Amino acid sequence: MTTTTDKHTSPASPIKSTKGGLSIKRIFSTQGENALDSVDWERRDAVIKNPQGESVFEQKDVEFPTDWSLLATNVVASKYFYGDQTNAYLDPDEGGREYSLRQLIHRVTRTITDWGHKQGYFSTQQDAECFYDELTWLCVNQHGSFNSPVWFNVGLHDCYGVKDSGDRTIWGWDPTKQDIADVDPYEYPQGSACFIISVEDSIDDIWKLMSESARLFKFGSGVGADWSTLRSTHEKLSGGGIPSGPVSFMRVQDATGGTIKSGGKTRRAAIMQTLK
């Protein structure tokens, strides 16, 4: 088995957990063994071609377990590896790109484990490390997988130091303030895949929905909305004239989803629109 050195493999500094945390029983992983070393690894090229045989994605010399299919390799490398391909020779925290499944899985499972430990979910540091090993083993052996926003976003701040570029209209729970606050979307990443948004029959609320949708698309999530609350083209406006109707605004949301690359990747956003 080969080993890839990762500068982000050490656990978080021990933090005293609150009483009553979880005790984790080791089932899949082996005590004292890095769960990522439970499989054999190899280098291969990730290449995706269009029907004309032209390459639409290519990343050479990526590292994956030997029993992972080429399809799985292409999907993960093209959709979930973080970083700029033009600087592939650099580490991700230096402006480069992930090249190994080790980096991707560790980024996510290490971050989730450290969050749980800091917030007192585990009885001891040993329980936290057991959780990390078990979760990592399940991912690298393809017994389970997270949704796309988790792979897109989780760990970018904690492992690579990625920070917000100025788009700070993101709200989340700030544990230091014990209140809802304007937060850095990479420090408090978006990990949910689907959101349901309501819309009222007013122009302000309609454009509020468009703005919220765009921000959710940006970090890789999908949006659902019921547009039945809007007046149809057969009704009247209070100031005179005929309403545009819900379908016209639904087209705007659809166009927004088609324009914004979900999670900054090559996939488009997912939208559910309903009318009763």
Residues 195-206 have pLDDT tens digits of 999 999 999 999
The two three-digit tokens of residue 77, written as one number: 């490398």
- Give the domain ranges of the chain: 35-160, 194-274
pLDDT band at 243 (very low <50, low <70, confident <90, very high): confident
How far apart CA 230 and CA 218 sit, in angstroms, is 26
Tell me if 139 sits within 8 A of 64, measured CB to CB: no
Residue 187 or residue 105, greater confidence: 105
How far is Cα of residue 124 from the mean position of the Cα atoms in its chain? 28
pLDDT band at 168 (very low <50, low <70, confident <90, very high): low
- Residue 171's beta-bridge partner residues? 182
Residues 187-238 have pLDDT tens digits of 889 899 999 999 999 999 999 999 989 888 888 899 999 999 999 888 887 7
Please report the sign of the dihedral spanned by the C-alpha atoms of residue 123, residue 127, residue 132, residue 136. Answer: negative
Task: Please provide residue 238's backbone torsions phi and psi, each rounded to the nearest 5 degrees.
Answer: -65, -30
Q: Which long-range contacts (CB under 8 A, 24 or more apart) does 74-78 make?
A: 74/46, 74/47, 74/48, 76/101, 76/104, 77/46, 78/46, 78/48, 78/265, 78/266
Task: Please provide residue 272's backbone torsions phi and psi, each rounded to the nearest 5 degrees.
Answer: -115, 125
Residues 46-81 have pLDDT tens digits of 999 999 999 999 999 999 999 999 999 999 999 999
Q: What is the pLDDT of residue 241?
A: 80
| Mean pLDDT calculated for residue range 131-158 | 97
| Mean pLDDT calculated for residue range 176-183 | 81
pLDDT band at 45 (very low <50, low <70, confident <90, very high): very high
pLDDT band at 3 (very low <50, low <70, confident <90, very high): very low
The two three-digit tokens of residue 258, written as one number: 């088609």
Q: pTM of the predicted model, to two decimals?
A: 0.84
